[in-house]
């Protein structure tokens, strides 16, 4: 079941993101950060197993720009369209809010391309997006994420 995240999901979201970060798949996030941005998150919740199996967030950057971030699906649940559904939920919310430019920095280039995103030079994105990048051990010389954007 796809739904907005709840406070009871925070520790699961934190664990998923930080396990993926440990594998170099994304930036880590603190519990405080997740609590503070909880309204940005959607989760895929497996009611039968009673667990959060996927997460994704849509963060408002500016009046005309949002970021899709922290996309993570548990390995046992991959290949079922959960990541796609999570991203689509975030895009739908962006449209509802009147945000018609959505970008991501990702290792899942193929997934985002299938959803209509196209690659851009990350230098074309506003400087405001770099606040998270400054905390990354790969910044600036070894960043291997792909910047992609969708104009809605």
DSSP letters along 25-76, please? SS----HHHHHHTGGGEEEEEETTTTEEEEEEEEEEEETTEEEEEEEEE-GG
Its pTM stands at 0.91
Query: Do you know the residue count of the chain?
Result: 152
- How do residues 104-151 score in pLDDT, each as one tens digit? 999 899 999 999 999 999 888 876 565 665 555 555 655 678 999 999
CATH class, 2-151 region: alpha beta
- How do residues 25-84 score in pLDDT, each as one tens digit? 888 899 999 999 999 999 999 999 999 999 999 999 989 999 999 999 999 999 999 999
CA distance 72 to 57: 10
Domain boundaries of the chain, sorted by first residue: 2-151
């Amino acid at each position: 079941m796809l739904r907005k995240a709840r406070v009871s999901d925070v520790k699961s979201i934190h664990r998923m993101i930080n396990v993926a970060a440990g594998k170099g798949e994304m930036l880590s996030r603190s519990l405080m950060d997740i609590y503070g941005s909880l309204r940005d998150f959607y989760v895929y919740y497996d009611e039968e197993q009673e667990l959060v199996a996927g997460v994704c967030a849509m963060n408002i950057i500016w009046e005309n720009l949002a970021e899709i971030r922290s996309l993570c699906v548990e390995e046992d649940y991959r290949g079922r369209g959960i990541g796609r559904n999570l991203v689509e939920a975030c895009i739908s919310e962006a449209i509802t809010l009147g945000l018609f430019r959505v970008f991501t920095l990702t290792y899942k280039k193929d997934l985002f391309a299938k959803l209509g995103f196209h690659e851009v030079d990350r230098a074309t994105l506003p400087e405001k997006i770099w606040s998270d990048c400054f905390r990354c051990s790969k910044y600036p010389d070894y960043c291997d994420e792909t910047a992609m954007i969708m104009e809605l």
